Amino acid sequence: MKLCMIGTGYVGLVSGTCFADIGNEVVCVDKDEKKIKKLNQGSSPIYEPGLDELIKKNFLAKRLRFTTNLKDAINSSDIIFICVGTPTKKGSLKVDLSFVFKCTKDILRFSKKKKIIVTKSTVPVGTGDEIEKILKKRKKNFSIISNPEFLREGEAIRDFRYPDRIVIGSNDKNVFKIMKKLYLPSINKGTKFITTTRRGAELIKYASNAFLATKITFINEVANLCEKSGVNIEDVSLGMGSDNRIGSRFLRAGPAYGGSCFPKDTKGLVSAADKYKINLSVVKSVIKSNQERVNLLTQRIHKILGSNLKNKKISFLGVTFKPNTDDMRDSTSLKMIPYLCKKGAKVNYYDPSGEKKEFKKIKNCKYTKNIKSNCSGADLIVLLTEWDEFKSLDFKKIVKNGKLKIYDLRNLYSAEEMKKNKIKYFSVGRPNIN
Ligand code: UDX
């Protein structure tokens, strides 16, 4: 099939490349000339394991091309995927849909033949209806459908190939057959193909992300209780998750959830519900609890190092919101590091995805190129992101410091082992055995 992806951000680029890899002819279009130039030279502007290779392979096979020429891209395709950003409006919970609507107007202006328009961007319930209103002059020429993506950063290619489900929302039933054909390689491997109304699909995406955010926040709050009551959160997660009705995934306690989706989508859902005068009180509490979590974790650092942090050397292992990505959006580090530096601490950080522009201007914050130089002489090591290379470190060898203290926000290590090695070890939701 001939596909056009508008927007070469995370969603558009990964989906476009993977669609090409299963035999479609895909054109990815973006107004950012630098990005398109980079892509045409065969390198990905985003960090995603395996993506560079897949782009090169499909580019060389001439199934995948990149352009800034929207008119040409639209007219050479039958299905147009809207993959532009839907950020939160500054100072509110509302979703900024201006990029989606701009894109719709462009499609109306440029397209000559009948097209299927698919919103892949996460949009509030009813957005497809708004798109339809913009296209009303030539409504018959378009089918507007919703096909939300559920790709996780760092695991996006695998998630595209083996999704749990594919959701297609359309008020025009004829489109289901075409979309089923497009996704046949995954459906043949056993993926559920769910069809619903357009509004239904839009809401499935928001409700899914808000539910996952709720699950994480719930276990994080139970972890707080575990710390006080001397229980191990991992026992609780295992015990709860073994109930099939609950499920074991997304029950890992840790820092506040972050990334490009959960913080934005929980807010977007609350604001969409407000429009219908529905109070989503649970989701509102989740947003609040997650925002407050950073304070709770910094208070813990004070407990470990004392109230005066002046000249204390704190070393972070990992600063991205999760491993296998360079994405810093809503990472706990963005609040934690500036706070600690303001209190006079000297912060070093190492992250496998490299130095971060977000910390360049912060006084007392320094990027180091490897684990050893990052941690040497530290008063406290904060393990924030669970990159593989942090999972089996021999801290005694890395840091020749008798008073070594570690705050492991991902529970990667055994408290008992640490005690045996005479390391003061603090983690999340476990009894303190120091
Ligand atoms: C998420 C959704 O999973 C995906 O379906 C959607 O399309 C985009 O948003 P992503 O943001 O890439 O994906 O990461 P995810 O792996 O879901 O993690 C999100 C946040 O939750 C991270 O901060 C992660 O550390 C945290 N998390 C996740 C936990 O704290 N505990 C868990 O058990 C799982």
Task: With respect to residue 337, please indicate whether it lies within any of the assigned structural domains.
Answer: yes
Residue 403: which pLDDT band, with cuts at 50, 70 and 90?
confident
Question: ∠345-347-350 over CA atoms, to 5°?
Answer: 165
Same domain? 433 vs 357: yes
Q: Is residue 181 part of a domain?
A: yes
DSSP 287: H
Q: Cα of 233 to ligand 1 centre, how many Å?
A: 19
Instruction: Kindly name the residue from 261, 341, 365, 375 that is annotated as catalytic.
Output: 261
| Catalytic-residue membership of 261 | yes
Q: How confident is the model at residue 42 (pLDDT cuts 50, 70, 90)?
A: confident
As for how many domains the chain has, the answer is: 2
Which atom of ligand 1 is nearest the CA belonging to 261? 9
What are 369-373's contacts with CB under 8 Å, separation 24+? 371/317, 371/398, 372/398
Cα(432) to centroid(ligand 1), Å:
27
Residues 182, 227, single domain; the answer is no
In a domain, 217, yes or no: no
Name the pTM for this structure. Answer: 0.96
State the closest ligand 1 atom to the C-alpha of 250, by its place in the atom list counted from 1. 33
- Residue 151: DSSP 8-state: P
Q: Please state, in angstroms and rounded to a whole number, the distance separating the CA atoms of residues 164 and 331.
A: 26
Residue 426 forms part of a structural domain? yes
**Helix-, strand-, coil-residue percentages of the chain, each rounded to 5:** 45, 15, 40
List the domain range (segments joined by +) for residue 116.
Answer: 2-196
**How high is the pLDDT of residue 346?**
97
Window from 136-140, 164-168, 172-176 with minimum mean pLDDT:
136-140
Domain shared by 341 and 227, yes or no = yes
- Domain harbouring 16, CATH code: 3.40.50.720
190 and 264 belong to one structural domain:
no
* Same-domain status, 191 and 250: no
Q: Whose CA is nearest to atom 9 of ligand 1?
A: 261
Residue 184 lies in a domain: yes
Q: Show the tokens assigned to 74.
A: 């639209």
Asked whether residue 188 falls in the same domain as residue 272, the answer is: no
pLDDT in tens, 215-253: 999 999 999 999 999 999 999 999 999 999 999 999 999
Give residue 402's pLDDT.
Answer: 66
| 141 CB neighbour count, 10 Å cutoff | 15
Closest residue by CA, ligand 1 atom 13: 152
Return the residue whose CA atom lies nearest to atom 16 of ligand 1: 152
**Which range is least confidently modeled, 37-41, 288-292, 336-340?**
37-41
Atom number, ligand 1, closest to the C-alpha of residue 151? 7
Clarify whether residues 183 and 262 are in a common domain: no
Token look-up 């706070």 returns 339
The binding-site residues of ligand 1, defined as CB within 6 angstroms of any ligand atom, are 149-153, 209, 212, 216, 250-252, 254, 257-262, 321-322
Query: Is residue 211 included in any domain, yes or no?
Result: no
Q: Is 192 helix (H, G, I), strand (E, B) or coil?
A: strand
Query: What are 355-391's pLDDT values in tens digits?
Result: 999 999 999 999 999 999 999 999 999 999 999 999 9
Say if residue 183 is in the same domain as residue 77. yes
**Same domain, residue pair 94 and 158:** yes
